[in-house]
Amino acid sequence: MTTTLNKPHYLPSVCIQANIVNFSVTFEGLQEQLLSSVVHQEKPLLEMERNQLRESLAIDLQLLHDLEDKMLGILQKAQGKEVKISCLASWFYQLHVCLGSAGSSSGYDVL
């Protein structure tokens, strides 16, 4: 079964009976691959730096996600109880530092 639709919607019964694989190619994806190949050939150090930045961003986002989960866990455990302000303040400070370093490395402005 094939379709020319970008994001086809199938009934649940069809999804259960078949494996759906998305082989669609976008112009932006091809442009990104071509640019990456050209940069890799012309300036390999720049491509290496780009890959390191991507890895650093992924690590920062994972750290941010972990800190958010820990904060939500603390708040959930403390539901109906008195929450230690110092504990929350330390988590907020760590989150702020994480956001500050992630924001400064990515060029975004962080509050």
pLDDT of 81 over the 90 cut: no
Name which residue leads in pLDDT, 103 or 28: 28
Instruction: Tell me the pTM.
Output: 0.51
Mean pLDDT over each residue of the chain, to the nearest integer: 77
Phi then psi dihedrals of residue 98, to 5 deg: -65, -45
Write down the pLDDT at residue 110: 40
78-97: average pLDDT: 70
The answer to whether the CB of 76 falls within 8 A of the CB of 110 is no
